[in-house]
A and B are shown apart, each in its own frame.
Chain A
């Protein structure tokens, strides 16, 4: 009883707490849950058959395939780059380290539309490299390579940003120990470095993947909106919507909605694992002198 009283005295009045909670929940419901529900409601507005038709329609399938291809290329490349950057920045001190760290964030700072335009400027018909590449049979802009490039650009920082702080926190001692014990470069990476960063890496992959599949702005600029050829899912949704085919647009959008939900679930699972391993690392650091705390008691 006294405990409850003390808690009551130390925190806000019950009414205030209650009101704040209601406001927060209402906000979430209105701006996050309601739109998602609306997407699915509209998608199924004309029944299951109409939904299926909209999804298995060839253009929609082509858009889905292109989205998967773009993400399928961009995400592994970002893993490769992210781990390399994490290794370099987290484990070594070198000139230009801070510059590199800043540059990694560039895709966050630049508007995706501008990113798309940069690729048009570089590889477009009148761009710097475009004419030469087109002469050699390499069409980048308004073709799949451009979409993949734009996707790589916008999803670029996610893996690196997750991996760098972990690499920094873990330090280099375990790698040194492995080296002295006779491990080669690959053994060192797969047996020591990777297990220490795996949850952070997975978390970065999930975020990068969500961004890669959902990207609209940059891809829209380089795509050229050729139906069945250079349309990704988000672009396809826009086209359908502009053609007043709201039901089909929402049906395709619901696919992206499902992706978002799956991402959220995975993110929640991985997040708890990341936290747990971070806590274990911190625990290990504190527990360095377990006797001291005992003798202090």
Chain B
């Protein structure tokens, strides 16, 4: 039954880190806690591990209530952001630690420990590093040792706190793919914390987006990207254009934009905002649909995409994104007037 968290609340002095948080992680799932710093995601992970105690609420691991249980009895694997390897031990001893500290009755034989550590080091492709000290390893290698060490105790769940946070972009990419493959092989219920939306969306089966101690939305990466539940979720998951306006009589009116909004059929207007992602605009030189126009200010090309920065007629900046071919066909330069039509808007009433 994976991990079940019910109504967790945690405060540090007057700061509320978690506010009545509940979530379910299915067995074998790779789950991401995504949010800005201070959103409570690390606190939530540490409470699941037992490294922090909640003020109220409960944690159920594989169907057993673990709320009152000591971290050493929870059988979780924990990978720290800065690895937390035992600096005075070799890589081998680091991985063997969890087996060596077991009470004698449950401790494997020396030969068995040796075999298991060797297997794990092979799994993380570091068997040739067994005798090195952590200080002799690169960041990516250390993180893999930390992972092997966490797996050595055969945990029921694996918890990773910003596992790639201290690594540079390239290593992070590699390690991310490698972790996904590893997870597909061993299918261990895993939760990882990240502030990097790309990482969460690429890696996880399901994502919980957190803000100010609450989960704003949880669902598949597709859910949170395509059907964001709150303005925070849509803003956090990448650049977005915001049009302020109102809804009334089943319509949303945001400056020149006029869209259908059947949810609010009332004639009483309410303030609302419409959100559109940069790639959801149609851009043309001739007046079309919405009548929204803007002056091209800046063009940045990155890879196959071209980003346009436009000064909108309504005063604000607009961000649009086009394919390179499309941009070249358009043949525009800074200073030109462009008509932009959102293919998709998401309206949130305030």
Contacts and interface: CB of A to CB of B under 8 A. Distances in A.
Interface of B: 49-51, 71-74, 76-78, 80, 82, 84-89, 97-98, 101-102, 133-135, 138-140, 149-150, 152-153, 166-168, 170-171
Given A195-B88, A280-B87, A295-B170, A183 B80 contact: no
Nearest to A192: B86
A181 B98 contact: yes
* Chief secondary structure at chain A's binding surface: helix
A290 B139 contact: yes
A177 B135 CA distance: 17
Contacts of B133: 280
B80 A177 contact: yes
A174 B78 CA distance: 11
B139 A177 contact: no
B168 A292 contact: yes
B140 A291 contact: yes
B166 A181 contact: no
Contacts of B149: 177, 181
B166 A183 contact: no
B92 to A, nearest CB: 15
A288 interface: yes
Contact of A291 (B98, B150, B152, B171): B171
A284 interface: yes
B51 A291 contact: no
Contacts of B153: 181-182
A291 B84 contact: no
B170 A177 contact: no
Interface residues of A, number: 27
16 contacts: A174-B87, A177-B80, A178-B97, A179-B72, A180-B50, A181-B72, A181-B98, A183-B101, A280-B135, A284-B134, A284-B135, A288-B82, A289-B168, A291-B138, A292-B168, A295-B168
A291 B87 contact: no
A182 B98 contact: yes
A174 B167 contact: no
Contacts of B152: 181
A263 interface: no
Interface string A269-293: 0000000000011011001111110
A173 B78 CA distance: 11
Contacts of B88: 195-196
B107 to A, nearest CB: 10
Most buried by B among A181, A280, A292, A295: A181
Interface string A189-208: 00110011000000000000
A177 B84 contact: yes
B72 A180 contact: yes
B97 A291 contact: no
Contacts of A288: 82, 139, 166
Nearest to A281: B87
A184 B82 CA distance: 23
A192 B84 CA distance: 11
Contacts of B77: 180
Given A173-B82, A284-B135, A291 B167 contact: yes
Contacts of B166: 288-289
Given A180-B49, A183-B97, A287-B139, 8 more contacts: A176-B51, A177-B80, A177-B85, A177-B149, A181-B72, A191-B97, A284-B134, A290-B139
A187 interface: yes
Contacts of B168: 289, 291-292, 295
Contacts of B167: 289, 291
B42 to A, nearest CB: 12
Contact of A176 (B80, B102, B134, B139): B80
A178 B89 CA distance: 13
A182 to B, nearest CB: 5
A191 B72 contact: no
Nearest to B138: A290
A92 to B, nearest CB: 14
B158 to A, nearest CB: 11
Contacts of B170: 291, 295
Nearest to A170: B87
Contacts of A177: 78, 80, 84-86, 149
Contacts of A173: 80, 82, 84
B87 to A, nearest CB: 6
B221 to A, nearest CB: 27
Nearest to B89: A195
Contacts of A284: 87, 134-135
B46 to A, nearest CB: 9
A287 B102 contact: no
A177 B138 CA distance: 20
Nearest to B87: A284
A12 to B, nearest CB: 38
B101 A182 contact: yes
B72 A183 contact: yes
Contacts of A191: 86, 97, 101
B51 A179 contact: yes
